[in-house]
Structure 1
């Protein structure tokens, strides 16, 4: 029987050939290798031959024909590159400069305390970019994100941060995702309403013909989401644009709606027509005199059984601290994302809350919250010892992001989804509980940083028997 084996028993290691054995498959096992060939390698030569062939092939590769030239002037905007047809088995050879940058990136990963084995996707992404484009000129962030989006085996966040530190990154223009969604909603409307909605968005972001204070991006997206179905219905009914809309059209659109939807459509339409009249796209504001009767809900406490063992389901220190800041100190989730690490005074047990356009608010931390804050800071330092993000709450992404962004709303909302309660319910319950123990609105304003109107609302809900002085009301 003629058989082929992967074990080079005789140490032949024939170049370009294979070793043949005459006999049955157990023939090679009849010999004792250590006795006949002391020190002979038992490893299959096929793996060695394969590795040597790959090394020879890589050494024979040439550098990419698409290396960017830092001295080449750009005559027009370069279209986005298509990386979907990439064959990683045929990567060009790295230049000496690119290889040095790739080695430095590996050293950068080690200096940050990360494990090389867990960041192979980032190294792979940089190797692809360095092989095809080189490192002589900065790399566009668009290309990094395109390569990182090829599969889960490619990552780009750490590559972007590293190249930015090295001055080798052409950053994309920042795009607010909420405003982008609002623009996308406007694009899907008929042309007679699409352009006016874009003008309205320009006014809301402070880019109208007259200077104005920009509105929050989430509010802009929410307004357009509420208004878009109404505008689409008007277009289907034959209206040729905002100029043909009357008060009756607006009232008919709001009449079948209830609750927050009716309120959102009403506020959105008033904002849109006010902006269009300001930009002189319409001559009159049909929504100016439209009123909406709504029943304002008074704050209500949560049942005590829903608050029992509130922190038990949460296992991480960050989540427990977030829930404590809302349930004990009644902070808004957005305010938590803006808390700065330097504003936490653990010696005095205080946390300063910075507020735009209003005086700062100082909260006095209780023992539980102070203990949770200390535990979170210790965990933060253990996980990211080189983290320079100034915010108190960081995530896995923002801790390594050199742009030092605050944590996202999804990170803040995760522990509340774990306990099955909304942050607004916990905050409302805390303020209501404090209002039941005191009828002094000034006390609520000092403890929670409330406005006078909000403080009076909670006092009225907690003490319905008390009425405001009609002379001072």
Structure 2
């Protein structure tokens, strides 16, 4: 265990560097600079690092718990260190108990707030068009406080509140999430007029600063059909920055090719965004070199293609050649070039490296880093059942049969061993206590996915083991290699146990046979002037000795 690099909290697993709270703080506030309080170079929120914000929350105390935190962070002159993954100190003063809303049938609690009336899409009459269509609205002012004022009488707002209530009941949202969404809808639709479109860029900075349900507000506005989504295309921005150094003639063709792959067309099969990014990454060096000599793709020759892949080997050569073939095949179909220079160029056999098992120390570090119920479930499914990232995220609650000790992973029924059964029970208990009303059908849920019906994201699966030698993928490979070593390198056995492709099973079997042979550990044959077996560890005696 070491201390965090940013908040200096003790108890971070060795090799990770930062605690979970600091990693999430850096993602949410990427402004890297010198803190105005402690002068350390870390991610900042309004000019101050996370350690200064934690100290300001501690200095504010229970008396001023409803006051703004910014004046307190400006007065921070010292820091109280703490342990990682420990709850922040709470106010322990005794307060009079307040009745809860609708707790128990016979309790004298505050009655639960009545649901909004059923409403539908308002009937639009005569619409007054806006004089200036590009006029921006600032939602920071003129807010309606539902604690002091009543809900404005607006039919569009009534429809939005009804949709919010329906979604909250269907997805099992907590009261805090539901009330936050209602406040945001009142802020946006209190003065809404027929025919108006709400721009995403108008309310994004307000909800981003408040960190309050941006995704849920957008979903409600989209279902109402009044959202004007003016978010910039991140793929287009990334591609423009990536192709900035190319010649204008080559850049124009590469931009059209990448857009055709991303969007698809009558003669082009649509690829995923990750595939297009991977293609551009592998051909960028060749394109930069050609831009210094040529002004169009039709000037590229076969020798240029061979020179682009000459200094590459293995998968890098195969991917580069595949991207170039795709590029020039598209250019030939579109009439941009006269002849495809990649025709007849063969990739050749691709030599694969021998898979190596993980060491005991690497596996021990991974097990010690899995300190949460969901992290232990990740490690168990990867190290015992050889499950992939996507397969773990796609497991549904209906796929788990604890009574018969069966679990369905990627469409294949597997037996649940004792360790996996224990970890599954622990996670399901935690899931039921943490999110008792969630309607998410997936086995694994997070704080963000619990309010929806989508699976968890891929970074959330492997962030706990990030930086360690034994990742989720490394544990999966080690499990299959261990099975290959145990069965003596039988590819049929591996294909039947893990339901993998024949080529993948042959690769694991080949690596297992080479590891089992261990030619580097074999002893050399005895020299001509000595006698004795090579398995005898005792020194040889000279010939003729008694």
TM over 0.5: yes
The Cα of 1:443 is off from its aligned counterpart by 1.5
| Correspondence 1:64-463 to 2 at 5 A | 70-71=124-125, 82-83=136-137, 86-88=139-141, 95-97=152-154, 100=158, 112-116=172-176, 122-133=181-192, 140=198, 142=200, 146-148=204-206, 151-163=209-221, 167=224, 170=227, 172=229, 181-182=238-239, 185=242, 189-205=246-262, 207-210=264-267, 212=269, 214-235=270-291, 237-257=292-312, 261-291=316-346, 295-308=351-364, 310-354=366-410, 360-401=411-452, 404-417=453-466, 421-438=470-487, 439-463=489-513
2:248–2:295 Cα contact (<8 Å) kept: no
Structure 2 Cα separation of the partners of residues 425 and 149 of structure 1 = 39
Q: CA, structure 1 residues 309+366, in 2 after alignment: closer, same or farther (shift >3 Å)?
A: farther
Gaps in structure 2 of 5+ consecutive residues: 1-121, 518-546
Structure 2 Cα separation of the partners of residues 429 and 388 of structure 1 = 35
- Could you say which residue in structure 2 is the equivalent of 1:40? none
2:492–2:505 Cα contact (<8 Å) kept: yes
Pick which of 221-230 and 106-115 moved more. 106-115
2:199–2:230 Cα contact (<8 Å) kept: no
Structure 1 Cα separation of the partners of residues 362 and 505 of structure 2 = 25
The Cα of 1:337 is off from its aligned counterpart by 2.3
The Cα of 1:73 is off from its aligned counterpart by 7.8
Number of matched pairs: 386
Structure 2 Cα separation of the partners of residues 242 and 409 of structure 1 = 37
Give the secondary structure class of the aligned counterpart of 2:293: coil
Structure 1 Cα separation of the partners of residues 284 and 139 of structure 2 = 40
Structure 1 Cα separation of the partners of residues 272 and 478 of structure 2 = 26
Give the secondary structure class of the aligned counterpart of 1:351: strand
The Cα of 1:172 is off from its aligned counterpart by 5.0
Structure 2 Cα separation of the partners of residues 209 and 461 of structure 1 = 43
The Cα of 1:178 is off from its aligned counterpart by 6.0
Structure 2 Cα separation of the partners of residues 341 and 279 of structure 1 = 49
Structure 2 Cα separation of the partners of residues 171 and 369 of structure 1 = 47
The TM-score with structure 1 as length reference comes to 0.67
RMSD after superposition: 4.1
Pick the structure with greater CA Rg.
1
| Correspondence 1:9-28 to 2 at 5 A | none
Give the secondary structure class of the aligned counterpart of 1:315: coil
Q: CA, structure 1 residues 326+73, in 2 after alignment: closer, same or farther (shift >3 Å)?
A: farther
- Could you say which residue in structure 2 is the equivalent of 1:25? none
1:49-70: CA deviation from partner (whole Å, max 9, x where unpaired):
xxxxxxxxxxxxxxxxxxx994
The Cα of 1:321 is off from its aligned counterpart by 1.3
The Cα of 1:109 is off from its aligned counterpart by 9.5
Structure 2 Cα separation of the partners of residues 303 and 204 of structure 1 = 42
Gaps in structure 1 of 5+ consecutive residues: 1-67, 355-359, 468-473
Structure 2 Cα separation of the partners of residues 331 and 273 of structure 1 = 38
Q: CA, structure 1 residues 456+106, in 2 after alignment: closer, same or farther (shift >3 Å)?
A: closer
The Cα of 1:234 is off from its aligned counterpart by 1.5
Whichever structure has more helix as a proportion of its residues is 1
1:217-256: CA deviation from partner (whole Å, max 9, x where unpaired):
3122211222234323322x13122211112222333344
The Cα of 1:303 is off from its aligned counterpart by 0.9
The Cα of 1:390 is off from its aligned counterpart by 2.9
1:117-152: CA deviation from partner (whole Å, max 9, x where unpaired):
x78765553233113435x66865735763555524
The Cα of 1:378 is off from its aligned counterpart by 3.0
Structure 1 Cα separation of the partners of residues 249 and 388 of structure 2 = 40
1:9-52: CA deviation from partner (whole Å, max 9, x where unpaired):
xxxxxxxxxxxxxxxxxxxxxxxxxxxxxxxxxxxxxxxxxxxx
The Cα of 1:384 is off from its aligned counterpart by 2.9
2:279–2:323 Cα contact (<8 Å) kept: yes
Structure 2 Cα separation of the partners of residues 231 and 399 of structure 1 = 45
1:160–1:169 Cα contact (<8 Å) kept: no
1:148–1:155 Cα contact (<8 Å) kept: no
1:179–1:221 Cα contact (<8 Å) kept: no
The Cα of 1:448 is off from its aligned counterpart by 1.3
